[in-house]
Structure 1
């Protein structure tokens, strides 16, 4: 401490001496001075027999920094795992694209190359393909287990202990957008919701796909016993699978090498999430969506090629008019769509009414607050007390009713 400050502190202490008993003066001065004195510096002990590095006046003793070493080691390991696993996920996605190039390239004028892979984080990746008859576009979506993030990885596998049916996998989803009425390509296929779903995937798909809640699940002899068929009307299954164009698809369904990766194949004219308002006719989209587990090796990825090829033939059969529904089936589907349309209109109307009522209440509250703000302080106090008593009365009434 500078001498001037020390003298000032001493003078300040001496100024209070007349108010203090004589016997307390030394202790008071010591207490006052200790407040302004710097704490003593603790130097490392010289008794050290571990490994150390000396260079002139610089001395580094690693044993004294064990905690810091653990922290730095964890950060380096976490960062290394992040980059290695991110690269691995990207490599797996590009490898699948390369193995399916013999299928995608003849089908699309712009099939998409591995270098065109788009990423959304390290576990979600996308590839866009376009330029094919009967298909407006194909979105290939890769969803990987978050191996790059240790926290997410622990949570993902920890969730399997809570939900025994939950099995995290690396997934591939091929979302084919078909012809849209009023669009550049007009499809002639049926407007319905239909799917073949692996039984272990049934619970998950019902949770994440609102459109498939319109269909009922049941067993069918045309698909393996490990799968169920979901359809609005039973006749749709016969129309889709009992024709010559469906033969490659049925062959893929009966191939064990393919089915161990299969998750679902669906045809839908409804969105995956419930819309908040009715869908306009020129905005309705029809999709064929294929989902399966991503194999881990190149040879296993080739095992899924027949299934991907069969889906292209299945789409051509839908859009070329080879799939025809009976008149009564078409009427049932139209009736279901009309009822759904009425339900969406009703929900949208109720939502608008709620919003209007809420806006009206908010405007009324603002007007009341502006009126109270113009009153005197005494009048405002009386109003607040009145509102407080009213709130207490309502709370007491609720407790009694409960």
Structure 2
């Protein structure tokens, strides 16, 4: 009987199929469908269809945008690498991330090309980005492609690429890049007369900037960065020997890498080839830094050999100081963690000991502890 009552409440009411209904009606055997009774459901179905349509259209738009950019630049990759891509070519990771791994080139271990596109497949996330951009004036979101060149230094020429941090950054990107890149905290930000006023230089020492911005034969980095067709898409170019995030412990030599990182805003498909000159120039800059280039004036022994001895000494001392600070901080954190563990163990032992006492004895111990803490607090107040 109880089961019957529960089933009665759980059973949905019968649909209204009374003869008084004179609207549009569809019948098939024992099924009757009256559209007039389904008003809100139409909006829900339309919203769901819109979301699904946005998902597939956005997914296709991202794939098309990334593929178009890479196809426009593929000839440069093929000319520079013996293995410009792996077998799958442009690899998709999710609906807004794509990457390519290239290897087989002098002076480089590898090139990672990574696309991070806007979430066009996710309508709610996309609208959130748009709304946030209207509220936060310094919030900028765009389709990004990053080329990370990792240097290879042959045996006997380990010092060709200097241990330094240097970058040219679009000024409207400075806040974002400072928040995301710990390695750029090594630098000071200045303007350069050879660059457009929309760009800033982040460098540890002026000597590095002088050597990287001066012309080498027909190659001139300032001239390339000043090109009107490139400026809308250039975000940053950085040479670094430090990780992006502050390490918890000093990195061993086997984990240290020297990298040239070029970050661009992905052009629309109709202008996908606009960044070709800058990508081609990045390879020339790699050869200049590594001392492998054939351009007139390329420093023999790499950029490190072109720097003044006092600059190299200061760079080395800066890194020694940072490593010392990281090591001391790691030791301090380890000591604090050990002290916290000891205090927790001591507290647990006291609680176990207290639990074995009678109620009256527990009360006496707690009162004694309370008086002790009160005296301790009063002593601190008097000392102040």
1: CA distance between counterparts of 2:230 and 2:259?
Answer: 22
- Which of 161, 186, 189 in structure 2 is aligned with 1:217? 189
1:247-258 matched pairs, under 5 angstroms: 247-258=219-230
2: CA distance between counterparts of 1:380 and 1:50?
Answer: 80
> What residue ranges of structure 2 are gaps of 5+ in the alignment?
292-300
1:317 corresponds to which residue? 288
1:13 corresponds to which residue? none
For the structure 1 residues 150 and 210, does the alpha-carbon distance in structure 2 shift closer, same or farther, using more than 3 Å as the test? same
Q: Is the 8 A contact 2:23 2:36 kept in 1?
A: yes
Bigger CA radius of gyration: 1
The range that moved more, 61-70 or 269-278, is 61-70
Alpha-carbon distance, 1:162 to partner: 2.6
1:368-387 matched pairs, under 5 angstroms: 368-376=350-358, 379-380=361-362
The range that moved more, 220-229 or 387-396, is 387-396
Asked whether 1:343 is paired with 2:325, we answer: yes
1:173-322 matched pairs, under 5 angstroms: 173-179=146-152, 186=158, 188-244=160-216, 247-298=219-270, 300-320=271-291, 321-322=301-302
Q: Is the 8 A contact 1:193 1:214 kept in 2?
A: yes
Q: CA RMSD in A?
A: 3.2
Q: Is the 8 A contact 2:153 2:160 kept in 1?
A: no
Alpha-carbon distance, 1:186 to partner: 4.2
For the structure 1 residues 382 and 69, does the alpha-carbon distance in structure 2 shift closer, same or farther, using more than 3 Å as the test? farther
2:122 corresponds to which residue? 149
For the structure 1 residues 62 and 384, does the alpha-carbon distance in structure 2 shift closer, same or farther, using more than 3 Å as the test? farther
1:110 corresponds to which residue? 83
For the structure 1 residues 51 and 381, does the alpha-carbon distance in structure 2 shift closer, same or farther, using more than 3 Å as the test? farther
2: CA distance between counterparts of 1:159 and 1:391?
Answer: 50
Alpha-carbon distance, 1:290 to partner: 0.2
- Which of 74, 77, 93 in structure 1 is aligned with 2:47? 74
2: CA distance between counterparts of 1:140 and 1:362?
Answer: 48
2:297 corresponds to which residue? none
Q: Is the 8 A contact 1:263 1:293 kept in 2?
A: yes
Q: Is the 8 A contact 1:108 1:129 kept in 2?
A: yes
Greater fraction helix: 1
2:68 corresponds to which residue? 95
1: CA distance between counterparts of 2:54 and 2:347?
Answer: 55
1:157-195 Cα deviation digits (max 9, x unpaired): 11112321222110111011113698x994611110000
The range that moved more, 196-205 or 237-246, is 237-246
Q: Is the 8 A contact 1:180 1:283 kept in 2?
A: no
Q: Is the 8 A contact 1:210 1:271 kept in 2?
A: yes
SS at match of 1:190: coil
The range that moved more, 205-214 or 78-87, is 78-87
2: CA distance between counterparts of 1:341 and 1:170?
Answer: 35
1:27 corresponds to which residue? none
1:273-301 Cα deviation digits (max 9, x unpaired): 01111122332211100001101124x12
Alpha-carbon distance, 1:102 to partner: 0.7
1:365 corresponds to which residue? 347
Asked whether 1:57 is paired with 2:30, we answer: yes
SS at match of 2:189: strand
1: CA distance between counterparts of 2:286 and 2:220?
Answer: 12
1:333 corresponds to which residue? 315
- Aligned pair count reads 366
SS at match of 2:104: strand
Alpha-carbon distance, 1:270 to partner: 0.5
Q: Is the 8 A contact 1:82 1:148 kept in 2?
A: yes
1:354 corresponds to which residue? 336
Asked whether 1:163 is paired with 2:133, we answer: no
2: CA distance between counterparts of 1:384 and 1:80?
Answer: 67
For the structure 1 residues 281 and 392, does the alpha-carbon distance in structure 2 shift closer, same or farther, using more than 3 Å as the test? same
- Which of 56, 63, 69 in structure 2 is aligned with 1:83? 56
1:27-84 Cα deviation digits (max 9, x unpaired): xxxxxxxx89957966514322322111233210122122223223222221221122
Q: Is the 8 A contact 2:160 2:302 kept in 1?
A: no
